[in-house]
Structures are given as C-alpha cells and as structure tokens.
Amino acid sequence: MSADNPFFTSVEQFVAWSGGDHCIKKVLVANNGIGATKAIKSIRKWAFETFGNERMITFVVMASPEDMKANAEYIRMADHVVDVPGGTNNHNYANINLICQIAERLKVDAVMPMWGHASENPLLPTSLLNLTRRVSFIGPPAEPMQALGDKIGSTIIAQSAGVPVIAWNGDGLTVDYKSEGIPQSIFDRANVQSAEECLACCERIGYPVMIKASEGGGGKGIRKVFKSEDVQASFRQVQGEIPGSPIFVMKMASHARHLEVQLLADRHGEAIALSGRDCSVQRRHQKIIEEGPPNIASPSVFRKMELAAISLAKTVGYCNAGTVEYLYKMEDESFAFLELNPRLQVEHPVTENIMGMNLPSCQLMVAMGIPLHRIGDVRRLYGRHVRGTDTIDFQFSEKVVPPRHCIAVRVTAENPEAGFQPTSGRIQELHFHSSIDVWGYFSVNNS
C-alpha cells in the first residue's frame, strides 16, 4: 500500500497491518440459498474496496442435487463447488463431520455458516479446533454460543447480569457465569420436565403464558396458552415438535413490540451495539417486516437496551456478530430480555443500510483476530479515519450515524390448498431491478 496505490497488495499484509493473527484467504460457506449468496457478495465487495481485486478471498460452497437442479445463484458465484448428498440438512449443510472433512480436504482457512443449518451448533467450532490445520469459525466460540444460544441458559445469564427479564418459571435463579458457568443443577431447576410441572408453573406465573422449547425457533416449539385446560396438550405438542429439547414457560407479553439490538464483538473483550431493528410484524412467529432503527422506543430507553446487550456479551466473552432480542411495552417503556441469537440474522441488511456497514466482512475481520477499533466500517461509524490506527474508547465515544431509515420485507409463498403451509412453489418469472434506495436479494432465478 502506498500513496499511489491505496490498496493492500496481499491479505497477509492487510492482516499484519490491522493487528490480526490469522490470514483468511479461502472460506468454506456452510450454507446455501440467500445465506451463501449474501456472504459471497458482501465479502467480494469488501475485497474490491480493500485490495482492488474482489477475488482476493476465494469461496468453496456445498451443493446438494436439489440446489444444483434449482440453478441456485450461489453455486454460479463460487470459486469451487463440492457436491454433497441431498435430502434434509443433516445430510449436507448441517452435517458437522461433512463440513469438517471438506474444510480439511480443500485446505480452507475458515468456515462461514451465516444463519440456519449448523450456524448455532457449538459442535462445529469445537470440531474445527481439532483439525490438523488452523480453520477459524466465522462466528462465536462454542462456549458462549452454547450458553447464549440456549434460551433457558441465556435467560439465566441475563437475569444474573442484571438485564430485565419477563416472568418465567426460572425467575430468581442466578449464576456467576465467569467463574462457574451454568451448573447443571441450576439449569435443571429451570427445565420443565413434565406436563404436571408445566401446569404448576403456568398457574404460578399467571395466564396467558408461552410454553417454549429451548432449542426451538422459526415458529417451531412454541404454544400460547390462555387457560389451564390447554396446558398439558400444548406441552406435549411442544415436546413433539422439538424432541429432546428442554422446555420452559414464560409470561406472554400482550401488546408488546419485538425489538432487537445488533451486536459486534471481537476476540479482545470489546463489544459494540450497532443500533437495532423492530421486528414486531410476524406470521407464525416468523419475522415478515423488519424496520430500523426502531422508533417506537425513546432514544434513552433504547440506549439502555444497547448497554444491557453489551453487558451480556461481555459477561460470557461473546465474539463476532449476534443479536439480542427484547420485548418492549409502550405503556410503561419497560423492556425484557427474550433471547440472544448467536449468529448473523437474515435481516442484517437493515442494519447495514442504516449504519453504512458491511457486516459479513466485519465478521471475517473479527475471525482474523482484528480488533474492532481497526475495522474500517467501525472506525467510520465513530468518525475516525478508516485507515487510522488509534484506539477507540467505545464506552465514551459517540457514533456518527447517518440519518437513514430502512424497511425490509420477506417475500413468502404459501399454499392455500394445504392450510397455507409455506411452500416455494415454482418461480416462472422473476424480474427485480435494484437501485440505491430499493434493493432485493434472491436465491432463485426463473425456472
């Protein structure tokens, strides 16, 4: 890099200059569809801006027969394609052994799961540590992933850290996470293990309640209950949807908004909040519309949400991107911790737009060991020169946020002849022209 050439000449040079410790030049994207597409597009954009060459980072992708047949966009974008078995994702994109075998055989430097599939399975980062060569996981370490990815464990940690939580069957349980983690005896006390116990918890908390599987998500393993007569049947339905998952009961927050805080943390103990999103418009407990920044909460209250999220992340040594979700009640401006998603979320482009950032590239740089204060997008956010080397006191520094607002809509398809069950159907024609202010991401093309 020189005055005449503003680009770095190699990834090694960039990592050394930025204070990192792992040169990542080849990435296995353990995902398909829009997750893989967005990862490749974002990091190639960053590579062009940093090196003047978008191919400085190469990508290996996995392709099932179904994705090959669908002519998936990410397959055409990749540098190397590995055929994997079809069927459910435990045969391919969520198969830890298969992912590790590919990573070792093709000598990749890192594995990037994005969201879904194996992204929240702590066995993946643990298994990568056991390979014969260094392969970084572009996501959080196994320990905080397991602690915060579990809804019961994360709620215990949150209330131990002083983060407000909603009434639930484990309220009052606290731990000293840094010194002892979550003892199994404490976790077991928060795990509702029978329909009879569930009924007793519901009666104590007061109706309406939500019966939830700790390992559930995306609308699965969750039931609303308004009266005692429905408790036992609902409990068994949750058990059946997520077999083997711990179950807990929480008070249903009526007329609450669903707000979330985007986190980014490095391996050096620093964490920052990157505004947030309002995802209150949902269908079958799946987010349909995301809006950012949230304007339903006052700036002072939302700042408290951000600080609570940062405190939670630092308590468990969280690293990389994550999202803390809250329930917010307008009438008294109260908020309560709901869960932490230990991964990048589908709706992260909302945050990218309002903050002027490229989150997958930030994830990559964190995995390279680069401190937050040396990441260009973070420095720009705090009004610093993108190629400066000075440290930033994030606790007392103000962000310089552009006056932007963004709304994202998830396009869904349902079959009215099958009880409006989700279905992809057949795409016969697809035309969408992105502009500066309106854009779309698609993982399929015309059939």
pLDDT by position in tens, the chain (length 447): 765 678 999 999 999 999 999 999 999 999 999 999 999 999 999 999 999 999 999 999 999 999 999 889 999 999 999 999 999 999 999 999 999 999 999 999 999 999 999 999 999 999 999 999 999 999 999 999 988 878 899 999 999 988 999 999 999 999 999 888 899 999 999 999 999 999 999 999 999 999 999 888 767 899 999 999 999 999 999 999 999 999 999 999 888 999 999 999 999 999 999 999 999 888 877 788 999 999 999 999 999 999 999 999 999 999 999 999 999 999 999 999 988 999 999 899 999 999 999 999 999 999 999 999 999 999 999 999 999 999 999 999 999 988 899 999 888 778 888 887 777 677 777 777 777 788 776 666 665
- Please, what is the end-to-end C-alpha distance for the chain in angstroms? 45
* Other C-beta atoms lying within 10 Å of the C-beta of residue 411: 8
**The predicted structure's pLDDT at residue 3:** 59
Element (H, E) at 350: helix 348-355
- What pLDDT score was predicted for residue 263? 97
pLDDT at 427: 72
Strand-pairing partners, residue 248, are 212
Per-residue pLDDT, 446: 63
Cβ pair 84, 90 in contact under 8 A: no
Residue type at position 89: N
Smallest CA-to-CA distance from 299 within 209, 375, 398, 162 is with 398
Residues with catalytic annotation?
343
Residue 394 near residue 372, CB atoms below 8 Å? yes
| pLDDT of the residue at 4 | 64
Q: Which residues contact 37 (CB under 8 A, 6 or more apart)?
A: 73, 74, 77, 441, 442, 443
